[in-house]
Amino acid sequence: MDQRKLQELLDDMSLEEKISQMLQLPSDAYAEGNAATGPVQGMGFTRENVEQAGSTLSLIGAEKLKRIQDEYLKTQPHRIPLLFMADIINGYRTVFPIPLAQGCTFEPETAKRAAQIAARESAAAGLHVTFSPMVDLVRDARWGRVMESTGEDAYLNGLFGKAMVEGYQGENIGEKGRIAACVKHFAAYGSPTAGREYNNVELSERTLREDYLPGYQKAIEAGSELVMTSFNTLNRIPSTGNKWLMREILRGEMGFDGVLISDWGAVHELVCHSIAEDDGEAAQLAIEAGVDIEMCTAAYGKHLKRLVEEKRVPVKLIDEAVLRILELKNKLGLFENPYKDADPEEERRLLLCREHRSAARETAAKSFVLLQNREGLLPLQKQGKRLAFIGPYADNRHTNGMWSFFADTDDNVTIREAVCERGYADAVFETGCPVVALGMYLYGLGGGEAGSCDMAEEEIQEAFDAAVRAAKEADTVILCIGEHPNQSGEASSRAEITVPEYQLRLLEAVSGVNPNVVTVLFSGRPLDLRRVCSLSKAVLAVWFPGTETGHAVADVLFGDREPGGRLSMSFPYCTGQVPVFYNEFPTGRPFDRSAADQKCFSRYIDIPNEPLFPFGYGLTYTEFSYGKLRLSAGTLEKDGELLAEVEVRNTGERPGSEVVQLYIRDMAGSVVRPVRELKGFKRVYLEPGEQKTVTFSIRPEMLRFWTIDMQFSAEPGTFWAFAGGDSTAQNGAEFTYAPA
């Protein structure tokens, strides 16, 4: 439909019909039978709201969605189709590693492929929009949703956000196998005070612009069709009612002209935040801020018509919102084909197909981060060793991230299955302990199943003893432990970010009878790994790898694939060190270890300042050496370019890849500048003994920041460039930026 026809359609709609397009109802409004009653009624929606609401979420499946669409269109005076949205954040039925793990690949193109596969599968299942990518910058591992982000660096988040939008949307969301993306959560949800979920966010405008907005900006520049508001406040104003943030920044400065959808209940929550007396005020604040769709609460449905009639809300605001919604449905081609790609046959053909599984397996291996490998215990020798796979994840299908509740963990490959497929008949497997302690209950979210202890009390001691016996008999123990998937993700902040205590006790017992312990760690966040690292020779962080967990873990443990990951988020020394991140500020008293009296410096007296493992870090199965970083000149001129070159050599015995990272430090600016910032990275593959020269381009635009005058520009002065395998690289060279 062309724009003129869309405008004619809008002009022909009643006010009630327009407002209905702005409502998004939960999926149970469309459950079997006429669920226009039940829980949805309790939410304050009228029967008409239910029958007319313009979109719904968390419904998927070709046959089901075609049937719902057919029913819906019968009640639509203008046959405006229903929009189906859902959280497909790391795959639909072929589940990929959690986004934090995908960030560790340092390969945005890998994440783009994962998004494209997710789009292909979910579009065939009838979906139109995914609530992804989440590009919230995260620095506080107590917050459970770090698992949904690609980490602590704005530049990296921007590259991944762009890649994911491109993967989902392609060039045209109306094409087959494409869905609309929704970048979230706007803005700065990743920095809740004390790491506590849904807590307020306190950031200066400069920090917001410098560190938090770039990720959203890149996703919007990539064409994300939707943006989702965040639950949190900024400057003590909740995002969903924050006119400055949404109209001046998002739509004005960032140029976003798509659909702005609230997060679940966030319009009504303006009342809870105490900036609205009631849902009527909440509706007014939200529509004035430019929120087009209210997700799953009824403020718009109950009050917008009255607000227009009372002239408290100009109908123009309604028309703008509804036109954006109609344009989105039009871009998806829904007016011509309300089913879009919904096709049961295609669904059966695509879901979990060999190509998709293979991509998930490869992505997982690239996301695994080898944190420690004393005595080169990894990769495991292929034959002749007695291997004991111990722990609650040694034979466990529940290895998807928390936002994977449309998938079926029965499709997942366990470590045990993968090891046995390789013919290691003499490998033994012992659970040793449960993932969730007795009596503990971990709520699921949405359709996710709860987590609870899957062992009876009398079984636990027996399992523990059997595991210790197996460890004693083995040459090497592979201890597979970690968080439950429900311990990260939404509504999963943890005040102590450690491996569950009873699993640590298993590690202590096992390492007490066998020094050769490889710990395979499942988690949705960085954890305090001091005890794990002291009791293990090797530690491999695998996050939540998804459908192909077992194959990917076995590929890496036995050396068929290298652990390709580099940390996209720092692992803190302990919880007390959080938030910790590489691009911190020098302070007025940077810690000087050489000082005789090390008292009055910016430091702790009981722990080091450095994280246990820094951003960008990850070991491989070989070693690399670096030549001295060279710059093509000592001065960078306005509109000029410097080339930064560094030789990298594989000095080990195995082929491997190195993620060469470029960091730049501005030695002095009109405001304080971070001790360094990631400005580029390249993965190079090298055979043993092989050397390659890696070249980076340094240009003035890479030096820009929000200056004292709140201008985004570069200032003349002295800079240092560093190149290396993680954010602690000291291999540096100085240059001057002299634009005059």
- CB 445 to ligand GLC: min, Å: 8
Token pair of 255, please? 């140029």
Q: Of 184 and 356, which has the nearer Cβ to ligand GLC?
A: 184
What contacts 593, CB < 8 A, 6 or more positions away? none
Terminal Cα-to-Cα distance of the chain (whole angstroms): 53
Contact status: 264 vs ligand GLC (CB under 6 A): yes
Contact status: 184 vs ligand GLC (CB under 6 A): yes
Contact 287, 319 (CB under 8 A): no
Contact status: 366 vs ligand GLC (CB under 6 A): no
Contact 535, 511 (CB under 8 A): yes
Q: Of 402 and 552, which has the nearer Cβ to ligand GLC?
A: 402
Angle CA 193–198–199, to nearest 5: 25
Cis peptide before 185 (omega within 30 of 0): yes
Q: Of 263 and 362, which has the nearer Cβ to ligand GLC?
A: 263
Distance CA 700, CA 712 (A): 12
- CB 87 to ligand GLC: min, Å: 5
The alpha carbon dihedral of 69, 74, 78, 79 has a sign of: positive
Distance CA 296, CA 301 (A): 10
- CB 111 to ligand GLC: min, Å: 18
- CB 46 to ligand GLC: min, Å: 23
- The 35-64 site mask, x for binding ligand GLC (CB under 6 A), equals ----------------------x-------
- CB 425 to ligand GLC: min, Å: 44
Question: Which DSSP category does 619 fall into?
Answer: B
Q: Of 198 and 626, which has the nearer Cβ to ligand GLC?
A: 198
Candidates 16, 22, 15; CA nearest to 326 is 22
Contact 297, 265 (CB under 8 A): yes
Helix (H, G, I), strand (E, B) or coil at 720: strand
Token pair of 304, please? 């917008």
Candidates 238, 296, 228; CA nearest to 265 is 296
- CB 296 to ligand GLC: min, Å: 8
Q: Of 301 and 656, which has the nearer Cβ to ligand GLC?
A: 301
Catalytic residue among 136, 153, 211, 263: 263
Q: Which of residues 368-397 bind ligand GLC (CB under 6 A)?
A: none
- CB 11 to ligand GLC: min, Å: 32
Q: Of 263 and 281, which has the nearer Cβ to ligand GLC?
A: 263
Q: Which of residues 600-639 bind ligand GLC (CB under 6 A)?
A: none
- CB 447 to ligand GLC: min, Å: 10
Burial 589-622 (b: 16+ CB within 10 A, else e): eeeeeeeeeeeeeebeeeeeeebbbbbbbbbbbb
Distance CA 650, CA 658 (A): 9
Contact 148, 134 (CB under 8 A): yes
- The 118-137 site mask, x for binding ligand GLC (CB under 6 A), equals -------------x------
Contact status: 216 vs ligand GLC (CB under 6 A): no
Contact status: 263 vs ligand GLC (CB under 6 A): yes
Distance CA 546, CA 560 (A): 19
- CB 36 to ligand GLC: min, Å: 21
Contact 177, 341 (CB under 8 A): yes
Q: Of 57 and 413, which has the nearer Cβ to ligand GLC?
A: 57
Contact 304, 287 (CB under 8 A): yes
Using CB atoms, what's the residue nearest to ligand GLC? Answer: 131
Q: Give the binding-site size for ligand GLC (rule: CB under 6 A).
A: 7
Distance CA 181, CA 349 (A): 24
Distance CA 566, CA 330 (A): 41
Beta bridge partner(s), residue 436? none
Contact status: 490 vs ligand GLC (CB under 6 A): yes
Contact status: 405 vs ligand GLC (CB under 6 A): no
Distance CA 400, CA 665 (A): 38
- The 85-114 site mask, x for binding ligand GLC (CB under 6 A), equals --x---------------------------
Helix (H) or strand (E) run with residue 74 in it:
helix 62-74
The type of residue at 183 is V
The type of residue at 6 is L
Q: Of 27 and 414, which has the nearer Cβ to ligand GLC?
A: 27
The type of residue at 346 is E
Q: Of 491 and 708, which has the nearer Cβ to ligand GLC?
A: 491
- CB 103 to ligand GLC: min, Å: 17
Known catalytic membership, residue 263: yes
Q: Where are the beta strands (DSSP E) in 235-291?
A: 237-238, 259-261
- What is the pairing mode between strands 259-261 and 226-229? parallel
Question: Which single residue is written with the structure tokens 């007014």?
Answer: 284
CA distances from 430 to 109, 388, 411, 434 (A): 38, 8, 22, 11
Q: Of 231 and 558, which has the nearer Cβ to ligand GLC?
A: 231
The alpha carbon dihedral of 195, 198, 200, 203 has a sign of: positive
Q: Of 57 and 100, which has the nearer Cβ to ligand GLC?
A: 57
Contact status: 268 vs ligand GLC (CB under 6 A): no
Contact 188, 134 (CB under 8 A): no
Q: Of 184 and 551, which has the nearer Cβ to ligand GLC?
A: 184
- CB 449 to ligand GLC: min, Å: 16
Question: Which DSSP category does 195 fall into?
Answer: G
- The 433-472 site mask, x for binding ligand GLC (CB under 6 A), equals ----------------------------------------
Q: Of 347 and 490, which has the nearer Cβ to ligand GLC?
A: 490
- CB 241 to ligand GLC: min, Å: 17
Helix (H) or strand (E) run with residue 502 in it:
helix 501-513
Contact status: 294 vs ligand GLC (CB under 6 A): no
- CB 28 to ligand GLC: min, Å: 13
DSSP string, 514-565: -S-EEEEEE-SS--B-HHHHHH-SEEEE-----TTHHHHHHHHHTTSS----
Residue ranges in contact with ligand GLC by CB under 6 A: 57, 87, 131, 184, 263-264, 490
Enumerate the active-site residues. 263
